[in-house]
Amino acid sequence: KWKKPIEIIKDATYNVYMKTSKKQSNYIRAYNYIKDGILQEKYDEDYVFIETVIAQELGISRTPVREAIKMLRIENWLQSVPKKGIVCRPFTRDDIENVYKMASAVESMIAYEMARNCDAYELTALQDYVKEMVDALKRQDKEAWLRADSEFHEQLLRLCGNRFAVSAMREMQQLIEVVRIRYTGLHMRSMEKSTELHRLECEAVLSGDADFARVLVERHWKITLQDVLEESL
């Protein structure tokens, strides 16, 4: 059937879109597959990433895998080692310090802004999560405490209106989780200190004491970093 020129253009545009969309989808699949494997410790630091192997595992071509590996190298999840290939980038002491310092800077800024505008936020959920942490401590239930602690930090991000701060913090949370899984345990002493600092932080934010809220968050991350470094490298 004869088609008008505009219909031909639409068909061509659709075909290009479908090809581009499929390619992007496979790239995202490969990126998430490799990154999730790193976070879940599927790959140790000696594992060599080979495009054909990853492509076969996913049932896709090598091109999106190559692009995913390239991006993960740029983001410092992977590195190229001469005479060996592409491997996971190990976490050094400096890496750990930098991640925790960045998290401190971003989250302290979030707490500061919330305290300055405390009337604009529904902050009771933060107090509820602190109560859950306190109850978990009494029961010495580490898993429950971790859930409440994670929800406390997540609630700060849910309330935050700065999408760039949220994006940066979520990326760092992934890295912090890797550090926690690979290098540290979770001790009652650390849990007690974190809970108390979270309680004080809640009070500072709710009362509108922005400077004190920022100081408390910075202190929390500094103490947490010290505990991590004592337990890790």
**Coil, strand or helix at 158:** helix
Per-residue model confidence (pLDDT) at position 142: 87
Token code pair at residue 131: 């109560």
* Best CA proximity match to 43, nearest among 69, 67, 70, 82: 69
pLDDT digits (tens, 9 = 90+) for 169-197: 988 887 787 777 666 566 778 889 889 99
Per-residue model confidence (pLDDT) at position 229: 81
Per-residue model confidence (pLDDT) at position 185: 60
The Cα–Cα gap between 70 and 86 comes to 10
Radius of gyration of the chain (CA): 23
Handedness of CA 59, 178, 110, 199 (dihedral sign): positive
Is the pTM higher than 0.75? The answer reads no
pLDDT digits (tens, 9 = 90+) for 39-83: 777 888 789 999 999 999 999 999 999 999 999 998 888 999 998
Instruction: Return contacts of 93-101, CB within 8 angstroms, 24+ apart.
Output: 93/229, 93/232, 93/233, 96/179, 96/183, 96/225, 96/228, 96/229, 96/232, 96/233, 97/225, 97/229, 99/172, 99/175, 99/176, 99/179, 100/176, 100/221, 100/224, 100/225, 100/228, 101/221, 101/225
The percentage of residues in the chain with a pLDDT greater than 70, rounded to a whole number, is 86
